[in-house]
Amino acid sequence: MHLKSVELSGFKSFAKKEKLDFTSAISGIVGPNGSGKSNIAEGFRFVLGEQSMKSMRGKRGEDLIFNGSQSSSRANRASVKVTFDNSSRLFDIDFDEVSIERAVLRDGVNQYAINGSTVRLKDVVELLANANIGATGHHIISQGEADRILNSSIKERREIIEDALGLKVFQYKKQESERKLSKTEDNIAQVESLRKEIAPHLKFLERQVKKLEKALSMKDELRTLYGEYLKREQEYITYHTERVNKEKQPLLDTRAKLQEQLADAKGILERSKGADDEGREIVELEEKIADVRSQKDVLARDVGRTEGQIQFEERRLKREQEKMESGSDSLIKLSEVETVVKDIHESIEQADRSNDVSVLLTTLRKIRERLGAFIAEKKEGKSEATRGLSEEELTQLREEKEVLDKRFTDVAARETELNQRYETMRKEIESSKDESREAEREVFRIMQEQNKIEAGLSKLVSTEERIRRDDEELKRELTEAGVLIGAEISRYEEFEVIEGGHVLDVSEIVQEPREKQEERRRQIEKIKIRLEDVGGGAADEIMTEYKEVKERDEFFERELADLAKSSETLRGIIHDLEDKIDVRFKEGIVKINGAFQEFFALLFDGGTAKLELIREEKRRKKKEDELALDVDEEGMAEEEPAAGSEGIEVNVNLPRKKIRGLDMLSGGERALTSIALLFAMSQVNPPPFIILDETDAALDEANSRKYGDMIENLSEKSQLILITHNRETMSRAGILYGVTMGSDGISKILSVQLEEAVMVAK
């Protein structure tokens, strides 16, 4: 015996805690009508997870709670607890005793517990399903439901028989698999939707990444070119700066000595008694020449600075022109675009009013020409605007240079004139043999040497100015290189210039013609323009975003593969479960038919009864033919079943009567047929216990004895709980529980151990 006891507390008419111990294979529950006997059967339904209030004769959960009486207050909760012996491991749980309890509160909240631990309804259903127990079905037959299996549709009848055959656990697994499959398919649809959603953005990022990869390739090339260019330029500037400084210092020292000597000679002339106007003229000439040289040096530097600015602007203008020729994007005013769109709309509206195809083609040609002219106009307009701005700046610089050149020419002419006067006076002094002219000859000698020194210094200053411009250009290039390549370019001095397979030293670098360095600079400018066209802004952000979106897309792809695999697995599980259910169901039908025929013949003293697996369309056709006057039974047997839902049809043939369907059975015959079928189902796959609630009410004395024999045979395989008024049925019970109800409306339990009483009597 598996069922040990049931406890009811606050459930319907059981206001106080009542316990029924089931120590016999057959337990009877008796009592007058309205005493609450059927509440015990409903208590079993309740604790085993029944969710239909109608099956428990209520509308809501609060209806199951004792509602009070004149002498007793109402309860706040109703609970039922059933205890099983699990020593044979009927339940898949490692306890020798399993108790299942369910309680409902006034607010409708349900609580479930297994061995005192709170669980979900799902846990209770799964535990019971594995033991072939459920809240409804063949093993709990309440009053008035004995012939429910006969009144059910063929589909519902099939479900009842599947439940009796223990296929409920497979049906539950199938439903669970179908639910998971539906959820998996929903997830697949969601993931596919998400993947489609990010696909355009991913394609855009892929195009950006390709541009960035191209830009990185050009940056690598630019980095190499820049490294060699900057290294060569730095070595060139450093070498010539040191050379100029080295050559300039002796000249400066010599010029200082000459100035001292000149000052001494001038002093001699001024102290000389024979000083005259010619001596003073020599001094004045020397001062004028020095002033002119100073002006000439300043103008030379200004001319060099202006030339550098002109070269810079010319390079910038050339760079902008190359950008325009490469087709770089430009900004266009919205109003201009709106004007073009308006013109196009007008052309379309005119063509729309005509059905002539030639007009449509002409309109399309005009639209194409209008757009082409607009683009060319904007492109040329920007080119002209850019060129105009640069040309204006260049014109100003060139005008400034012309002024400086003119001033430089005037100063140079003045210097030439003074030098000629100086040369004339020098010759006169040289030709004179007078001792008093020695000082004048010394002055002219010194001035001649000063001219040579100044010529050398002027050349060095010009070189120095050119190197200074190159140095400024180098700093500008270094700044641009830092923006385009990064701070790493600042270590360009570590770059090794390799040519012909060996590293060049400084002397080899500076000997290279400047034209080659200028060619490198032009290549750098071309790559910079291409980089600007490709665009490399926010490269790190784009790469990071692309990596994140790519990883997300790959994750979705893996998820789709996993979900597709799960879906396929679930479909396989469902198919296997369907096959298993179908095979076991058909095998079970054969076994049930054997037992059904045996019980039916016992109850009716003969006759035949069987279950037939049919389809809904066949059953409908059969009923129509049965109503026809000319029924061809052989033709019916040869009819092929149409596609539709399968179900169970009950065919009976009573002895000594010509009855062709269940609808022709009387009430008693229906009851006996139902009992035979229910007992046959229980014989094939015996449940741990069966509850029969007054299923014998319609039986006469003779059939009651047969019924009693049947339940005794059935008790050998299942524990029986009988709610009955039938004396014959009572006599077969080993223990009787009497249910009484007093004036307070509360059901109470009295028990009689009949087996012990018999032993005592003997």
For the CA atoms of the chain, what is the radius of gyration? 58
- The pLDDT of residue 274: 47
Contact 130, 92 (CB under 8 A): yes
CA gap 390, 309 in Å, rounded: 12
Q: Which has the closest alpha carbon to 162: 649, 681, 644, 715?
A: 681
For the chain, the maximum distance between any two Cα atoms, rounded to a whole number of angstroms, is 185
What domains appear along the chain, each with residue ranges and CATH number?
Answer: 1-139+687-762 (3.40.50.300)
- The pLDDT of residue 560: 92
Beta-ladder partners of 29: 723, 737
- The pLDDT of residue 136: 56
Angle between helix 277-326 and 514-534 (nearest 10): 40
Dihedrals phi, psi of 10, to nearest 5 degrees: 75, 10
Contact 64, 78 (CB under 8 A): yes
Question: Which distant-in-sequence residues (6+ apart) come within 8 Å of 46 by Cβ?
Answer: 11, 56, 64, 80, 102, 104, 135
- The pLDDT of residue 8: 94
- The pLDDT of residue 309: 75
- How many residues comprise the chain? 762
Q: Which has the closest alpha carbon to 165: 126, 134, 122, 127?
A: 134
- The pLDDT of residue 225: 84
- Residue 139, Ramachandran bin (φ over 0: left; ψ between -120 and 50: alpha; else beta): alpha
Q: Which has the closest alpha carbon to 429: 282, 542, 601?
A: 282
CA gap 668, 696 in Å, rounded: 10
CA gap 191, 472 in Å, rounded: 59
Q: Which has the closest alpha carbon to 552: 185, 184, 199, 207?
A: 199
CA end-to-end distance (rounded Å), the chain: 26
CA gap 296, 720 in Å, rounded: 132
Burial 425-454 (b: 16+ CB within 10 A, else e): bbeebeeeeeeebebbebbbbbbebbbebb
- The pLDDT of residue 378: 65
The residue type of 218 is: M
Secondary structure (3-state) at 199: helix
Q: Mean pLDDT, 10 residues at a time, over the chain (762 residues)?
A: 88 91 91 88 89 82 86 89 91 91 92 94 86 69 70 83 81 89 93 91 87 80 81 82 82 82 72 54 74 79 77 71 57 70 78 71 77 72 55 78 82 82 70 56 76 80 81 82 76 75 77 82 80 66 88 92 93 92 89 89 87 71 50 41 66 80 78 85 84 83 86 87 89 91 87 63 53
Contact 8, 17 (CB under 8 A): yes
- The pLDDT of residue 53: 84
